[in-house]
Amino acid sequence: MVEAATPLVGVAVKNLYKIFGPTPEKFLQPVRDGMSKQELRDTHGHVLGLRDISIDMPAGAIQVVMGLSGSGKSTLIRHINRLIDPTAGEIWVGADDVVQMSARRLLRFRRERTAMVFQKFALFPHMTVVENAAFGLQIQHISPKKRHACAMRWVERVGLKGYEDNYPNQLSGGMQQRVGLARALANDAPILLMDEAFSALDPLIRGDMQSVLLDLQQELSKTIVFITHDLDEALRLGDRIAILRDGEVVQQGTGQQIVLQPANDYISSFVKDVNRGRVIRCRTLMKTGAPVQGPEVDASMVIEEAARLLSGVGQEAANVVSSKGRHLGTLSMADIIAAMVPPNVESSTQPTPLS
What CATH number corresponds to the domain at position 290?
3.90.1280.20
Q: How far apart are CA 157 and CA 167, in angstroms?
A: 18
Residue 136 shares a structural domain with residue 63 = yes
Q: Is 162 exposed, middle or buried (0-12, 13-18, 19+ CB in 10 A)?
A: exposed
Residue 328 shares a structural domain with residue 262 = no
Residue 211 shares a structural domain with residue 299 = no
Residue 242 shares a structural domain with residue 310 = no
Question: Quick count: other Cβ atoms within 10 Å of Cβ 314?
Answer: 7
pLDDT at 188: 86
- Alpha carbons within 13 angstroms on the beta-carbon side of residue 99 total 17
Q: Is the model's pLDDT at 355 over the cut of 60?
A: no
Average pLDDT value for residue range 202-229: 89
Q: Is the model's pLDDT at 351 over the cut of 60?
A: no
Q: What share of the chain in percent tops pLDDT 70?
A: 94
The residues, ordered by sequence, that sit 6+ positions from 332 with a Cβ below 8 Å of its Cβ are 287, 316, 317
* Cα 34 to Cα 30, 31, 38, 43, distances in angstroms: 6, 5, 11, 15
Average pLDDT value for residue range 335-348: 70
Residue 252 shares a structural domain with residue 293 = no
Average pLDDT value for residue range 170-192: 89
Radius of gyration over every alpha carbon of the chain, rounded to an integer in angstroms: 23
pLDDT tens, 46-72?
999 999 999 999 999 999 999 988 899
Q: With contact defined as beta carbons under 8 Å apart, do 94 and 175 qualify?
A: no
Residue 66 shares a structural domain with residue 118 = yes
Cβ burial 245-261 (10 Å sphere, 16+ → b, else e): bbbbbbbbbbbbebbbe
Average pLDDT value for residue range 81-110: 95
In the chain, beta strands by DSSP E: 11-20, 47-57, 62-66, 88-93, 96-97, 114-117, 191-195, 223-228, 240-245, 248-253, 296-298, 317-321, 327-332
Residue 309 shares a structural domain with residue 190 = no
Q: Is the model's pLDDT at 269 over the cut of 90?
A: no
**At residue 5, what are phi and psi to the nearest 5 degrees?**
-145, 0
- In a domain? residue 1: no
pLDDT tens, 8-57?
889 999 999 999 999 999 999 999 999 999 999 999 999 999 999 999 99
Residue 178 shares a structural domain with residue 321 = no
Residue 113 shares a structural domain with residue 62 = yes
Q: Is the model's pLDDT at 350 over the cut of 50?
A: no
- In a domain? residue 23: no
The domain tally of the chain equals: 2
Q: With contact defined as beta carbons under 8 Å apart, do 83 and 109 qualify?
A: no
- In a domain? residue 132: yes
pLDDT at 340: 84
Confidence band, pLDDT 50/70/90 cuts, at residue 271: confident
If one compares 3 and 29, the residue with the highest pLDDT of the two is 29
3-state SS, residue 95: coil
For residue 179, the domain's CATH number is 3.40.50.300
Q: Which of 246, 271, 296 is the last residue of a domain?
A: 271
pLDDT tens, 290-319?
999 999 999 989 999 999 999 999 999 999
Residue 66 shares a structural domain with residue 196 = yes
- In a domain? residue 324: yes
Residue 322 shares a structural domain with residue 253 = no
Question: Quick count: other Cβ atoms within 10 Å of Cβ 81?
Answer: 21
Q: Is the model's pLDDT at 90 over the cut of 90?
A: yes
If one compares 353 and 130, the residue with the highest pLDDT of the two is 130
Q: How far apart are CA 176 and CA 275, in angstroms?
A: 31
pLDDT at 344: 60
Entry pTM: 0.83
Helix axes 144-157, 173-186, angle to 10 degrees: 130
Residues shown for the chain:
355
Average pLDDT value for residue range 134-158: 90
Q: How far apart are CA 100 and CA 69, in angstroms?
A: 30
> Containing domain of residue 85, as a range?
57-271
pLDDT at 38: 94
Average pLDDT value for residue range 85-92: 97
DSSP conformation class of 100: G
Q: How far apart are CA 59 and CA 190, in angstroms?
A: 9
- In a domain? residue 115: yes
- In a domain? residue 7: no
The residues, ordered by sequence, that sit 6+ positions from 97 with a Cβ below 8 Å of its Cβ are 90, 91
- In a domain? residue 41: no
Confidence band, pLDDT 50/70/90 cuts, at residue 202: confident
- In a domain? residue 182: yes
Helix axes 173-186, 203-220, angle to 10 degrees: 20
Residue 97 shares a structural domain with residue 176 = yes
Q: Give the mean pLDDT of the chain.
A: 89
The residues, ordered by sequence, that sit 6+ positions from 141 with a Cβ below 8 Å of its Cβ are none
